[in-house]
Structure 1
Amino acid sequence: MIRHQWSDYSTGERIKALRGTEVTQETLAAMTGLSVATIQAAEQDKRLSLPTLLKITAALGVDTAVILGQQPPRRAQHQEDRAMLKNLSHAVHDTAAGIGSEDEPPSMGELERITREAWDLYWQGRYPEVGTISAPLLRAAAARLHAEPAGEQARAWSLLADAYRICAYVANLMGVRDLAYAGIGHAQHAAEQAGDDLRQALVASGRAWVYLRDARLQDALHLAEKAAVDIEPRFSTATPEQLTVYGSHINFAAVVASRMGNADRASDYLSQSHATGARMGKERGFHGTLFGPVTATAQAVGINLSLGQAGKALALTSAISDTSPLTPAARHRYALDKALALADARMWDASLDTLEAAVRAAPQWARHQALPQVIVSKVGRASTARLRRVAKLIGSPIV
């Protein structure tokens, strides 16, 4: 039987799942100060006192409600992820409060290099690694700002805005919504201090994405539309950087409109997105965002799926013969959208083949995504042997 709900498991099974493969019973015993026998008894549902429960929850970095099955864990609840998110939270809140390192900060050039590396990791879908380097990057950027002479801090404010935005993106992907709101709010202040219009627009788009993940669709659409209008360029004179930022904004507005079921609005934004991509001619990156003609078409697949137009989505996939211009994360997401379109078309085997290939190509990225579970759910009982294999691969245990 495939268990889909966190509450379907026993308390002991939930402890074992949260412990994962990277933390043994012996390691958890050492982390909690409990005996291995006590850990074994808890996982076998034989004995779990309140003090034991509290020690285990503290060691695993989760709420007691998660272990007791009252609320599901966030995706990617591996031990190293929880430690990374805690460090990220400390960095965001400490720097915002003016608490920083007393060490000599890196040079501006070195910080810019590390920021580019963080964005590269982000677009590869290596989110835990991004989070790991983002905490020290944020602290270093804040220290660099304080070291700069008054009146010469614009460049440092820009770097700080990027660091906060990266932190917010990682938190948002991992479902830590309060941290995402905090990070994007501090990013907005830093971008305003930098006086950089394009960075301010990117931060606004980031906030709209947090709204989208928080199911605030109307707020997300309003903000995405406003940000796009504020930076809409003249195609005849626009720079590649302006087109990149505008294209990503208008594309995101189409995503939100599709989630709201507004087909006409989504179609209008998609037309503008495709026109912008055609004007650019190729994929480009700027300030941590990427856009181009292939991105516009790949995103259109997911947008049409949201509108219930699986046939149109499948037709669009035939127009994409080469996904190499996309970032790794975008390629993986496109593969999931294609698998979902195939599932909607009741092409079960092709859907599972596509899903399995995507998950095997990027297992670390896939465990932060909800779509694989959605696809498996749609396939249902078709092709049972393959379904069981793929369900196990994406983390839906077979018991």
Structure 2
Amino acid sequence: MSPQISNNIRSLRRRAGLSQEELAAAAGLSTTTVGKIEQGGSVRMETFARLAHALGVDTEALFASGSPHPVPDDKGNGRYLLALRRQLMPPIGLVDATATSVTVASRADLERQIDAAHTHYHADEYDEMARCLPGVLAGTQAALFAAEDDASRQAMLSTHARAQLVTGKYLTQVRQYDLAYQALSAGIRDARAAEDQITAAVGVIGLCWLLLRQDRFSEAQELAVTTADVVEPRMSTATPGQLAAWGELALRIASAAVRNNRAEDARDARRMAASAASALGRESSNFRTHWGTFGPATAAVKTIEDLSLKRDARGVLRDSDQGPLATAALRRLGRPSPSSWNRHRLDVVRAHALLGSHQDAMDELTGLRIEAPEWLKHQSIARQLMQDILKRRRRTLTKDMRLMASHLGISG
């Protein structure tokens, strides 16, 4: 952890007139933990949130403004995604580069290619995404340049925006945040230029997800709030796409607020999401109008995520198979997207681990390794949970534990 973060926490504690023992008691932590944090020990987001709550500040107030720690060996990632980098970050000089010849496909064909990219994404086929997306971006760009009138240009701007947004979705998932920002921001601008409000809103939902992953909670919340105000639908006449976009923005507001120690804002946003989900009636998946699957079950798993962040393990396990998440309800209402459902299962893993039920936690993790192996590799929380299980294990590791540690790249 950056020394600046440690200094921020120490300074806020002293300003509040608290000793380390008093801060630890208020945050539900041990005095030893608080001492280690102030000496630069590593901290998880849930611990930041508990410290912020105890200190009466936004979680962001704890974060540093200094330079990041040096990365021991990051050169490997630079070798990947070269074709995407060329599309999103072309070299710019004093003379325009010579245009390359690209066959101009029909808009319908390009839309099918974007749909196929989404299929790869939800199947966790990330290598296939890296291979297909440069061609999709080049194809939509070529068709945009070839548009012969304003109407066809407006239509192609929307299609090009969607190509950039699915690219940004993939890049955020694999934690290439700077590239993801390039794709998402360009997609939002193109959708706005095309006067395609829903597609632009979908891009904002993605950008809020990116900001959340960078711990930029206030910015994510403010962006989602202002966008939700613009696109708020009339429930009686709204299309599924409008309801889903508004509901997904409410989920982003809540996720940012709960992480930033703004519980009341989070509760209000969860109510907004529940209203949109209720108006939809069941899970809805249409990636031409939604960022992801949205409906009653998705709203429910995101509410359980709040309980997980508060370390309410019994609450997570209690609610994980009730209401919209009961087996019969899931059959009737539909399931969340694979990534949302799998993320929910990691919350269940955490709950079991907190209660000391390590075999139950391993059973859930093993199921994820079998069903979504590539997705699981990109989840830092999975590595953290597995490291906790290994740290507390007193007996010889089971075969599943050894396989999971190897799969997640955990050594030692």
Query: Bigger shift: 324-333 or 199-208?
Result: 324-333
C-alpha displacement at 1:144, in angstroms? 0.4
For the 8 Å contact 1:208–1:220, the answer to whether it is kept is yes
Q: What corresponds to 1:216 in structure 2?
A: 216
C-alpha displacement at 1:161, in angstroms? 0.7
For the 8 Å contact 1:124–1:329, the answer to whether it is kept is no
- Write out per-residue CA displacement over residues 126-178 of structure 1, whole angstroms, 9 at most, x where no aligned residue: 23322321111001000000111131211100111111112222222222222
Q: Secondary structure at the match of 1:94?
A: coil
Q: Equivalent pairs: percent with the same residue?
A: 24
For the 8 Å contact 1:254–1:270, the answer to whether it is kept is yes
1:68-107 alignment runs, 5 A limit: 70-71=70-71, 84-94=80-90, 101-107=100-106
The residue type equivalent to 1:367 in the other structure is K
Q: What corresponds to 2:337 in structure 1?
A: 327
Cα 1:125–1:258, aligned 2, differ >3 Å: closer, same or farther? Answer: farther
Matched, 1:297 2:287: no
Q: Secondary structure at the match of 1:285?
A: coil
In structure 2, distance between residues paired with 1:261 and 1:351: 28
Cα 1:353–1:82, aligned 2, differ >3 Å: closer, same or farther? Answer: farther
1:266-305 alignment runs, 5 A limit: 266-286=266-286, 287=288, 288-289=290-291, 290-305=293-308
C-alpha displacement at 1:266, in angstroms? 1.5
In structure 2, distance between residues paired with 1:313 and 1:229: 31
C-alpha displacement at 1:73, in angstroms? 5.7
Question: Which TM-score applies when normalising by structure 1?
Answer: 0.75
Query: 5+ residue gaps in structure 1?
Result: 1-68
1:140-151 alignment runs, 5 A limit: 140-151=139-150
Q: What corresponds to 1:395 in structure 2?
A: 409
In structure 1, distance between residues paired with 2:219 and 2:352: 32
Question: Which TM-score applies when normalising by structure 2?
Answer: 0.73
For the 8 Å contact 1:273–1:296, the answer to whether it is kept is yes
Q: What corresponds to 2:50 in structure 1?
A: none
- Write out per-residue CA displacement over residues 27-46 of structure 1, whole angstroms, 9 at most, x where no aligned residue: xxxxxxxxxxxxxxxxxxxx
C-alpha displacement at 1:309, in angstroms? 2.7
In structure 1, distance between residues paired with 2:110 and 2:307: 40
For the 8 Å contact 2:349–2:365, the answer to whether it is kept is yes
In structure 1, distance between residues paired with 2:318 and 2:73: 37
For the 8 Å contact 1:84–1:128, the answer to whether it is kept is no
Matched, 1:382 2:381: no
- Write out per-residue CA displacement over residues 220-248 of structure 1, whole angstroms, 9 at most, x where no aligned residue: 11111111221111212211111111111
C-alpha displacement at 1:331, in angstroms? 2.5
Q: Secondary structure at the match of 2:392?
A: coil
The residue type equivalent to 2:326 in the other structure is S
Cα 1:100–1:211, aligned 2, differ >3 Å: closer, same or farther? Answer: farther
For the 8 Å contact 2:311–2:351, the answer to whether it is kept is no
Cα 1:235–1:200, aligned 2, differ >3 Å: closer, same or farther? Answer: same
Q: What corresponds to 1:196 in structure 2?
A: 196
Query: Bigger shift: 105-114 or 173-182?
Result: 173-182
In structure 1, distance between residues paired with 2:116 and 2:91: 21
- Write out per-residue CA displacement over residues 188-231 of structure 1, whole angstroms, 9 at most, x where no aligned residue: 22111111111111112222222112221111111111112211
1:51-70 alignment runs, 5 A limit: 70=70
For the 8 Å contact 2:387–2:410, the answer to whether it is kept is no
Cα 1:126–1:331, aligned 2, differ >3 Å: closer, same or farther? Answer: farther
Cα 1:101–1:335, aligned 2, differ >3 Å: closer, same or farther? Answer: farther
C-alpha displacement at 1:262, in angstroms? 2.2
In structure 1, distance between residues paired with 2:313 and 2:146: 54
1:1-399 alignment runs, 5 A limit: 70-71=70-71, 84-94=80-90, 101-152=100-151, 153-286=153-286, 287=288, 288-289=290-291, 290-319=293-322, 320-322=325-327, 325-379=335-389, 380-382=391-393, 384=395, 385-386=397-398, 387-398=401-412
Cα 1:389–1:151, aligned 2, differ >3 Å: closer, same or farther? Answer: closer
The residue type equivalent to 1:205 in the other structure is I
C-alpha displacement at 1:84, in angstroms? 4.7
For the 8 Å contact 1:160–1:190, the answer to whether it is kept is yes
The residue type equivalent to 2:245 in the other structure is V
- Write out per-residue CA displacement over residues 8-67 of structure 1, whole angstroms, 9 at most, x where no aligned residue: xxxxxxxxxxxxxxxxxxxxxxxxxxxxxxxxxxxxxxxxxxxxxxxxxxxxxxxxxxxx
In structure 2, distance between residues paired with 1:73 and 1:343: 31
For the 8 Å contact 1:301–1:316, the answer to whether it is kept is yes
Q: Secondary structure at the match of 2:285?
A: strand
For the 8 Å contact 2:280–2:295, the answer to whether it is kept is yes
C-alpha displacement at 1:119, in angstroms? 1.6
Q: Secondary structure at the match of 1:190?
A: helix
